[in-house]
């Protein structure tokens, strides 16, 4: 009787230990799954935060470049000439002291505007509106050259100053949209599809495209519809989306003219 009792008790201990061991293995398995999920969630959160930080950096840089463009225009009575060099040296591509004819698309001229040039992969693209009228300066809309457009004589205080750029911007506003000059396509919203072929929306005095990551994985940080040879840029209000994270800043001729008028001393 006693032997049977002790045998049953021993069996009970072994069953309890086995049961406890089984629970421990199950708990370990659950813990591993939970740890994996937490690790995945943490990594996803890190990627999201990092991407958001990149976006904010791109937006801040775009706003800075826009402010510097405006200040340059106010001081010099023209917009900067693009840097068309293959090496992207950061300097305006001038012929003598004037923007070379036909030069309307290139890299942002960081050095000429007093900025440190960033690493090559992060350099912004820049386009400026140019519609030269050698036969009639009063109707000229070449925004990359400083030119007397209001009829002032050289002895007058307003000769060849920012008021002449404002006149050039007004002239540009009166011209039809042309794909041969800087322009915007849609924004995937109110302005329609982002398509440089089928949806040409408006001309701009300038646009700047700040690349972030190579979101479309084509080996180039510039994402569609942007390309080094294209005068077309997506609308600045276009959402950053899968396959495209470039930041765009731009102003129409009328918008820039209005800002310059408000900024006159």
Instruction: Specify which residues 233 forms β-bridges with.
Output: 184
In 3D, which of 136, 208, 130, 133 has the Cα closest to residue 169? 130
244: in domain: yes
16: in domain: no
pLDDT at 8: 47
Choice between 253 and 27, residue whose per-residue pLDDT is larger: 253
20: in domain: no
Q: What is the dihedral of CA 15, 21, 25, 30, to 10 degrees?
A: 80
Q: What is the DSSP string of 211-252?
A: --S-TT-SSSSS-TT--TT--EE--TTPPPBTTB--EEEEE-
How far apart, in Å, are the Cα atoms of 143 and each of 148, 171, 194, 236?
12, 10, 26, 21
Choice between 53 and 179, residue whose per-residue pLDDT is larger: 179
- Residue given tokens 């009228």 in the structure block: 133
14: in domain: no
180: in domain: yes
- Residue given tokens 């509106």 in the structure block: 129
Contact 124, 113 (CB under 8 A): no
Q: What is the DSSP string of 79-90?
A: PPPPB--TT--S
Domain containing residue 145: 42-263
Domain count along the chain: 1
pLDDT averaged over the chain? Answer: 86
Choose the most confident range, by mean pLDDT, from 6-10, 141-145, 210-214: 141-145
What is the pTM assigned to this prediction? 0.81
């Amino acid at each position: 009787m006693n032997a049977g009792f002790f045998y049953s008790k021993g069996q009970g201990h072994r069953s309890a230990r086995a049961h406890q061991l089984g629970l421990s293995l199950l708990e370990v398995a659950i813990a591993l799954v939970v740890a994996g999920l937490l690790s995945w969630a943490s990594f996803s959160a890190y990627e999201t935060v990092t991407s958001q930080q990149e976006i904010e950096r791109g937006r801040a840089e775009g706003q800075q470049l826009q402010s510097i463009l405006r200040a340059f225009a106010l001081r010099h009575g023209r917009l900067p000439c693009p840097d068309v060099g293959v090496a992207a040296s950061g300097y305006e591509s001038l012929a003598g002291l004037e923007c070379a004819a036909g030069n309307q698309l290139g890299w942002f001229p960081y050095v000429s505007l007093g900025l440190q040039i960033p690493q090559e992969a992060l350099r912004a693209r820049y386009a400026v509106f140019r519609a030269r009228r050698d036969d009639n300066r009063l109707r000229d809309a070449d925004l990359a050259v400083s030119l007397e457009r209001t009829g002032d004589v050289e002895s007058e205080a307003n000769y060849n100053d920012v008021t002449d750029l404002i006149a050039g911007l007004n002239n540009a506003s009166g011209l039809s949209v042309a794909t041969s000059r800087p322009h915007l396509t849609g924004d995937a919203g109110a302005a329609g599809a982002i398509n440089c072929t089928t949806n040409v929306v408006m001309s701009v005095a300038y646009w700047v495209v700040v690349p972030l990551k190579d979101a479309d994985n084509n080996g180039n940080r510039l994402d569609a519809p942007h390309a080094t040879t294209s005068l077309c840029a997506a609308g600045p209000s276009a959402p950053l989306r899968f396959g495209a994270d470039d930041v765009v800043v731009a102003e129409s001729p009328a918008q820039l003219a209005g800002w310059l008028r408000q900024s006159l001393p």
